[in-house]
Amino acid sequence: MNVEELKELMSLLKEADVRAELCDNPIKVSECGVKCGLPTEIGDNELADYIMLPKSVVGMYPEMFIPAEGDSMIGAGYESGDMLRVRFGMTAHDGDSVLAWIDGKCTVKSYYKDEDNQQWLVPQNDDYDSIPLTEDMDFRILGVVVGVEKASCRMPSRSLIQSIRRTKNKLKTAKRMSEKEVDECIIKIGSDVKHARQWYAVYRAMLDCQVTNEGDYMAFCSRVRFLLPEHEHLPTPKEISRMAVQSFARPVSMWNNNNAPVSGVRYKDYLNVALIMGSYLSKTPTEA
């Protein structure tokens, strides 16, 4: 598609009230990164590439994308590999992230001028000290960071694992329901169970809430029979075990109508029983 065809397409989109802009303004991409850490010497000025942006977001000042390195600006959201969009020639104001030159070295920090008119470069990481700018320094602000292109939107596995571990620990330390309270939940759900195999939904909800043992169908069935001896549809270990297949072998939150041993209305009935039992078990004794 040539330029004229693109312009015609843009015109049609505008007539259809679709906001679109042509990315026809090349912004240089530096091959050498800038330290978001301790100041570092500037490398060569070769360009690695260009990033095309629409004219409406490109200002009157020259711009360049520069790769970030280090972790001193992690609090501002800048991580190694991110592309910092630097606009050169702008006046820096308090709080701006700036690309600064200090004695032949280059760094990115937050700019601030205090009540004594002292200028500072302030990192966004407590592991680094702020840098006071003095008269004996060869210092100048080259540009202001006006945007950042993230290297990846994927969160690191380490932070995810830590969060999951914290949640698991909270669940382990949370007050468990007593056996009597669980029995009361089983009795309460009994009126919602319409056939023997549907007791599997009750068992699965109990397993998810860690109030029964995985695979111990005999103990579960005996418990139900003891609590509800007159129930019209009592479970058997053999029938319950037959339901622990496909998505039903996973936690209730992972059940899938397209991958379950039952489907349609029957699937909804199983899911409903499991969710109701789960709600009973998730309540604290004072809420039940």
Work out the angle at residue 251's Cα, subtended by the Cα atoms of residues 250 and 256, and round it to the nearest 5 degrees: 70
Cα(209)–Cα(230) distance, integer angstroms: 26
Of 116, 165, 121, 119, nearest to 145 by C-alpha is 121
Neighbours of 110 (CB within 10 A): 21
> Do residues 144 and 92 lie in contact, with contact meaning Cβ atoms separated by under 8 Å?
yes
> At residue 55, what is the residue type?
K
- Is there a catalytic annotation at residue 163? no
Catalytic residue among 72, 175, 188, 222, which? Answer: 72
Q: Which residues contact 245 (CB under 8 A, 6 or more apart)?
A: 261
- Is there a catalytic annotation at residue 72? yes
Q: Which residues contact 130 (CB under 8 A, 6 or more apart)?
A: 120, 121, 122, 123
Catalytic residue among 30, 35, 97, 109, which? Answer: 109
Q: Which residues are catalytic?
A: 72, 109
